């Protein structure tokens, strides 16, 4: 088993532990049952209607880049959720993970370098490993890394890609400031690397927090966008997409074709119906944003009330994830074992690291905890702390 397989296995093992009966789980980043049910009820109706109208064509082959009407619906979604994108530059993929994988296969050759924040979405690791490319790790958060340190790192390593989750990131819940986005865009143009902007959690930004501008606005020719419906509608239809400058379109499409020929026609038609009416989709997003905002607010209040001194966290602008950093010698691995005995769980920070394991940190997700269980969950966590 290589290091990446080991990391993925570790993550799966932890997730399995956390789904035992009676455990209040702050571990999973699956959309919440409530948000999931809202989507499911609409999808059921859409399927009934589609089967009547489109009949067996729903199960036919479709173009590798995606069905035009669906690509137009995505482009329309981007035009009001920003940034605007031409539908001709969109490639529909089987979830966000395939979008990331296709980008890695297109842009990374053996020994090429890709910059990543250390605490990161672990699904990208295997894609990088498969390309035999090298990860250049930002040990602290991207936000906290100064312009000059970033420039030094980029000058030295000459990366091909810089992977960034700028909004409500997994696992840290952080959002990259506008200033940092501008700085990275300047560097991307100066040193000619591509930014792989993962917008998986962007549309979960809460209503009263203005959405921050995409890299696409600052350096359109250096930005490849990855997006997915997994956290805002449902993960099981496996719909994601890439939005790329036209010059990369054909190369990305070649990789898509060799991977699975095309993305499920059935899923594309369903989601096309789901998102094509702006007003109802906007309503849907606001409902789930509100749902997560309520849950996060209960979480933050209970943390403020019950957590002892020495633990730090930021208030997320959206999404359902929160990252907590403990005191210097705090060990989230031991904490996890004790927490499980007390019937509460979370994700220890080091499972999100490729290098330099962060044993002093952990991730809480409110997506799959019932609102009424959050306070009890935090009390159990506090009881399990070893400091």
185/188 Cα distance (integer angstroms): 5
Q: What are phi and psi of 113, to 5 degrees?
A: -115, 145
Residue 121 in contact with ligand PLP, rule: CB under 6 A: yes
Report the residue number, 174 or 198, with the smaller CB distance to ligand PLP.
198
Residue 97 in contact with ligand PLP, rule: CB under 6 A: yes
| Total interface residues for ligand PLP by CB under 6 A | 14
Report the residue number, 62 or 200, with the smaller CB distance to ligand PLP.
200
Pairing of strands 24-25, 344-345: parallel
Report the residue number, 15 or 46, with the smaller CB distance to ligand PLP.
15
Report the residue number, 97 or 265, with the smaller CB distance to ligand PLP.
97
Stretch that binds ligand PLP, among 60-68, 153-161, 228-236, 329-337 (CB under 6 A): 228-236
Report the residue number, 102 or 382, with the smaller CB distance to ligand PLP.
102
Mask for 271-290, x = binds ligand PLP (CB under 6 A)? --------------------
188/29 Cα distance (integer angstroms): 31
Q: How far is the CB of 232 from ligand PLP (least distance, A)?
A: 10
64, 123, 245, 357: residue in contact with ligand PLP (rule CB under 6 A): 123
Which tokens in the block code for residue 170? 């997994």
4, 76, 125, 170: residue in contact with ligand PLP (rule CB under 6 A): 170
CA 77 to chain centre: 18
Q: How far is CA 11 from CA 31, 85, 173, 346, in A?
A: 18, 35, 18, 11
Helix (H) or strand (E) holding 228: strand 223-228
Q: How far is the CB of 190 from ligand PLP (least distance, A)?
A: 27
* Residue tagged 């966000």 (tokens): 96
Give the residue at shortest CB distance from ligand PLP: 95
Site for ligand PLP in 288-317 (CB under 6 A): none
Report the residue number, 135 or 378, with the smaller CB distance to ligand PLP.
135
Helix (H) or strand (E) holding 136: strand 134-138
Q: How far is the CB of 230 from ligand PLP (least distance, A)?
A: 4
Farthest CA pair distance, the chain: 62
29, 153, 234, 347: residue in contact with ligand PLP (rule CB under 6 A): 29
CA 94 to chain centre: 15
Burial of 148 (0-12, 13-18, 19+ CB in 10 A): exposed
Can you name the residues that pair with 224 across neighbouring β-strands? 196
- E strand spans, 29-127: 90-93, 113-117
3-class DSSP state of 130: helix
State in Å, rounded, how far the first CA of the chain is from the last one: 33
Nearest to 5 by CA among 174, 127, 184: 127
Mask for 181-220, x = binds ligand PLP (CB under 6 A)? -----------------x-x--------------------
Residue 352 in contact with ligand PLP, rule: CB under 6 A: no
83, 166, 173, 235: residue in contact with ligand PLP (rule CB under 6 A): 235
Q: How far is the CB of 371 from ligand PLP (least distance, A)?
A: 22
Instruction: Tell me how many helices (H) and strands (E) the chain has.
Output: 13, 12
Stretch that binds ligand PLP, among 34-42, 135-143, 227-235, 333-341 (CB under 6 A): 227-235
Stretch that binds ligand PLP, among 92-100, 153-161, 261-269, 362-370 (CB under 6 A): 92-100
Residue ranges in contact with ligand PLP by CB under 6 A: 29, 95-97, 121, 123, 165, 170, 198, 200, 228, 230, 235, 240
């Amino acid at each position: 088993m290589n290091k990446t397989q080991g990391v993925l296995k570790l993550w799966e093992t932890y997730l399995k532990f956390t789904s035992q009966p009676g455990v209040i789980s702050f571990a999973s980043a699956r959309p919440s049952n409530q948000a999931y049910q809202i989507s499911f009820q609409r999808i059921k109706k859409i399927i009934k209607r589609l089967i009547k109208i489109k009949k067996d064509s729903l199960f036919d082959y479709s173009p590798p880049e995606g069905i035009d009407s669906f690509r137009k619906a995505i482009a329309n979604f981007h035009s009001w959720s920003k940034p605007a994108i031409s539908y001709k530059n969109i490639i529909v993929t089987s979830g966000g993970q395939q979008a990331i994988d296709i980008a890695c296969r297109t842009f990374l050759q053996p020994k090429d370098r890709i910059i990543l924040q250390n605490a990161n979405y672990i699904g990208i690791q295997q894609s990088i490993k498969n390309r035999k490319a090298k990860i250049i790790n930002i040990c602290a958060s991207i936000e906290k890394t100064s312009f000059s340190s970033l420039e030094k790192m980029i000058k030295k390593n000459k990366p091909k890609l810089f992977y960034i989750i700028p909004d409500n990131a997994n696992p840290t819940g952080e959002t990259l400031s506008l200033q940092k986005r501008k700085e990275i865009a300047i560097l991307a143009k100066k040193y000619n690397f591509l930014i792989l902007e993962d917008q998986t959690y962007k549309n979960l930004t809460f209503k009263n927090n203005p959405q921050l501008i995409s890299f696409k606005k600052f350096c359109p020719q250096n930005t490849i966008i990855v997006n997915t419906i997994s956290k805002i509608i449902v993960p099981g239809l496996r719909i994601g997409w890439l939005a790329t400058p036209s010059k990369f379109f054909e190369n990305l499409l070649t990789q898509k074709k060799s991977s699975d020929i095309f993305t499920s026609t059935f899923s594309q038609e369903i989601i096309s119906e789901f998102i094509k009416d702006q007003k109802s989709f906007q309503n849907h997003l606001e409902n789930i944003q509100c749902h997560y905002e309520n849950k996060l607010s209960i979480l933050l209040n209970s943390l403020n009330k019950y957590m002892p001194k020495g633990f730090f966290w930021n208030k997320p602008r959206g999404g359902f994830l929160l990252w907590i950093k403990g005191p210097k010698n705090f060990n989230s691995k031991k904490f996890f074992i004790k927490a499980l005995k007390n019937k509460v769980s979370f994700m220890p920070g080091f499972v999100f690291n490729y290098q330099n394991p962060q044993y002093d940190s952990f991730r809480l997700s409110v997506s799959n905890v019932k609102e009424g269980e959050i306070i009890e969950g935090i009390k159990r966590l506090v009881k399990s702390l070893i400091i």
